[in-house]
């Protein structure tokens, strides 16, 4: 009997056979969580809650755009602020749903100023696309594949080097990915900060986490709700990495200066915790 099997099917089967089963399982679990957040972009109420960003004032940035190789053969982009002196400490910054825009670059500059002996790399999970309105943002977020995002993150780790100590931070879309990056980076990850991002829900994947986490939530968030935060806290309580959870009486996106719902007081308090959290783990 001759089977009619397409070349694509054969290639897919070969790839599955070559990859370790545990790696497939981890990708599947990561995919479940990241896609759960991506599905929120199909919710009109969620999209409408993300007001179009205020125009960001023109200014000079301290870093530069770079490209680095990724294992899938497609180069990745990033905004890179090099430490003022040689350092193996790297902060990986992951943008929210508008993409690697001027706001994210400016926040990266602020981190570099606060930690001058730390390299800062703001990753571009949208591969060059930047939105200035909610409709484009939701399209770009929906288009992100888990496989490509992990490739970009691993490429950044390779750029930093095997001896690098890696810290991650992100907001909203990037908040969830900050945690996923820390899980993926294993023992190289030294601390993860996530602002109102989707927590990992799979215990088997959370058990891969090797670093402490600072999770910042917004009590008025209608999607990443206080109940979601409480479940994450309960899951992390069963593990050895320490979770520091901070919650503020503010809305989703409160730490973004370009967001009309920006809450300066809450953001200032949150960032004091961020700086203390990172400093204590270096």
Residue 53 token pair = 């960003």
The predicted model scores a pTM of: 0.89
Q: Is residue 125 part of a domain?
A: yes
pLDDT in tens, 141-160: 999 999 999 999 999 999 99
Where in the sequence is the domain holding 273, given as residue range(s)?
Answer: 43-280
Q: Is residue 19 part of a domain?
A: no
> For residues 151 and 76, what is the distance between their CA atoms, to the nearest angstrom?
9
Cα Rg, the chain, nearest whole Å: 19
Q: Is residue 144 part of a domain?
A: yes
Residue 151 token pair = 């490739």
Q: Is residue 80 part of a domain?
A: yes
Q: Is residue 25 part of a domain?
A: no
> For residues 198 and 6, what is the distance between their CA atoms, to the nearest angstrom?
37
How many separate domains does the chain show?
1
Give the chain's length.
282
The CATH number linked to 51 is 3.40.50.1820
When mean pLDDT is compared across 111-115, 213-217, 254-258, 264-268, the lowest value belongs to 254-258
CB of 195 closer than 8 Å to CB of 171: yes
Q: Is residue 1 part of a domain?
A: no
pLDDT at 110: 96
Residue 6 has pLDDT above 60, yes or no: no
Q: Positive or negative CA dihedral for 172, 115, 260, 101? A: negative
pLDDT at 57: 82
Mean pLDDT of 228-242: 96
Residue 98 banded pLDDT, cuts 50, 70, 90: very high
Vertex 174, ends 219 and 260: CA angle to 5°? Answer: 55
> For residues 180 and 185, what is the distance between their CA atoms, to the nearest angstrom?
9
CA 270 to chain centre: 17
Q: Is residue 14 part of a domain?
A: no
Q: Is residue 5 part of a domain?
A: no
> For residues 153 and 2, what is the distance between their CA atoms, to the nearest angstrom?
42
146-160 and 21-39 helices, crossing angle to 10°: 110
CB of 240 closer than 8 Å to CB of 36: no
CB of 180 closer than 8 Å to CB of 168: no
Instruction: Classify strands 89-94 and 64-68 as parallel, antiparallel or unpaired.
Output: unpaired
pLDDT in tens, 159-205: 999 999 999 999 999 999 999 999 999 999 999 999 999 999 889 99
């Amino acid at each position: 009997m001759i089977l009619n099997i397409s070349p694509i099917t054969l290639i897919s089967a070969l790839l599955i056979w070559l990859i370790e089963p545990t790696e497939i399982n981890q990708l599947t679990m990561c995919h479940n969580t990241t896609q759960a957040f991506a599905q929120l972009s199909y919710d009109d109420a969620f999209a409408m809650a993300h007001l179009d960003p205020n125009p960001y004032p023109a200014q000079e940035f301290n870093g530069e755009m770079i490209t680095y190789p990724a294992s899938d053969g497609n180069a990745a982009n990033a905004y890179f602020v090099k430490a003022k002196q040689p350092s193996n400490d790297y902060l990986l910054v992951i943008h929210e749903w508008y993409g690697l825009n001027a706001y994210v670059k400016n926040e990266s500059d602020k981190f570099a100023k606060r930690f001058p002996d730390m390299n800062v790399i703001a990753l571009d999970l949208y591969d060059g696309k930047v939105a200035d309105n909610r409709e484009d943002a939701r399209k770009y977020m929906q288009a992100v594949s888990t496989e490509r995002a992990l490739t970009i993150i691993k490429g950044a780790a390779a750029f930093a080097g095997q001896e690098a100590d890696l810290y991650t931070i992100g907001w909203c879309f990037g908040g969830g990915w900050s945690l996923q990056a820390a899980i993926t980076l294993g023992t190289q990850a030294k601390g993860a900060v996530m602002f109102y991002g989707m927590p990992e829900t799979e215990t088997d994947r959370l058990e891969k986490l090797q670093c402490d986490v600072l999770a910042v939530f917004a009590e008025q968030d209608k999607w990443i709700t206080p109940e979601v935060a409480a479940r994450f806290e309960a899951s992390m309580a069963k593990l050895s990495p320490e979770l520091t959870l901070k919650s503020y009486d503010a809305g989703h996106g409160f730490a973004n200066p370009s967001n009309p719902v920006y809450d300066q007081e809450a953001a200032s308090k949150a960032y004091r915790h961020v700086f203390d959290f990172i400093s204590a783990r270096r």
